[in-house]
Amino acid sequence: MSVETARVIVVSLAVGVAWVVYRRVMGASSSRGGARTARRAEALGLLPASRQNTLLPGPAPELERALAAAARGDWEPAAGLMVATRERRDWQRRYRYAGALGGLAAEGDGAWLDAWEAAAGPDDPDVAVVRIDFTISLAWRLRGSAWAKDTTSEQFGGFFRVLPQAVKHIERAAELNPDDPTPYAKGATVALGLNYSHDDMHRIWQEITSRDPHHYGAHTAALLYWCAKWHGSEELATSFAQRAAASAPPGTLLRMLPLISWWEHHEGSGKKADHRSPQLAAQVDAALADVAAAPPDHPDLPRVRHLLAYILVRQGRFEAALEQFRLVDGHVGAVPWSLYEDPAAVYCRWRDKAVRGARRR
């Protein structure tokens, strides 16, 4: 999506969002593969690319219904969903739901979010956290996903005009619900774009961990900050990941962090043998043990399974990869597939490698 300041583009997007969301939730139609691929996938008990949900990493029926309703302009299911996360103090799910809802609002004109805010009033803590994600998502849409050298001054101008607005929304959401780590966890993402100093990041991190010391989403956001491509180095990112993994109880998924740090710094530039090193195999084994100990309804469990499945294929561990693929099949809204223009097609290509490899074994 290009710059959204032109009114005609905003209006066009608003009209089309409901259909786009429906396609992404239900699975986009595709001409690739045709009936033959569909029959093969059905025989394996797996779904073709045309039936993969590209919006979410795994099943979340309540969220899917809220997103579909919001795309039609009905904000009440989203409000009910966010109230429930607050009342249950389900901070990790609250973090993910706010991200999905805010991102959806940024795809259109945000009218349903405005309507929710008008009905709830200025002191509603739930609409406040969604407003944070709306602002962050809008800023990144204005910037685009290209490297800095390929980003225009106009794109950067829009980005730096909008993203600082997220700071005031973070402060307001934190004020309205002081126990909630969600605003501060979103602040870790804002720190990337606004080039916060290390001291500033440490202060945000203290606010997060004092409220939820094993928050997976916050840890992955902070890990990105410490990566070499942002404001740290491979050494700083790896150190952060290893400390978090070592101190986390089983089932928190934080033993995935060293693997993510490796992937962020080596994927795309490493040789095939690098994926099969004893060190990386040990990191994968630790992550698999953490996954096995995690609650089945952990909101980030599908997200972790996707990356594990990909790396397991790269390691030639096809049976283990196929097990992870089977547990997430039908949803592809996660890294690494979401990095591609056609995530469903890329996902199916790697999944089918696991199928073929497991059959040969």
Rounded-to-integer distance, Cα 116 and Cα 358, Å? 49
What confidence score (pLDDT) does residue 147 get? 78
In one-letter notation, the amino acid at residue 57 is: P
Q: What is the pLDDT of residue 107?
A: 92
What pTM value is reported for the model? 0.88
Q: pLDDT under 50 in the chain at which residues? A: 1-34, 37-38
Q: Look at residue 39 in the predicted model and tell me its pLDDT.
A: 59
Per-residue pLDDT reduced to its tens digit, 131-181: 999 999 999 999 887 778 888 889 989 999 999 999 999 999 999 999 999
pLDDT at 2: 35
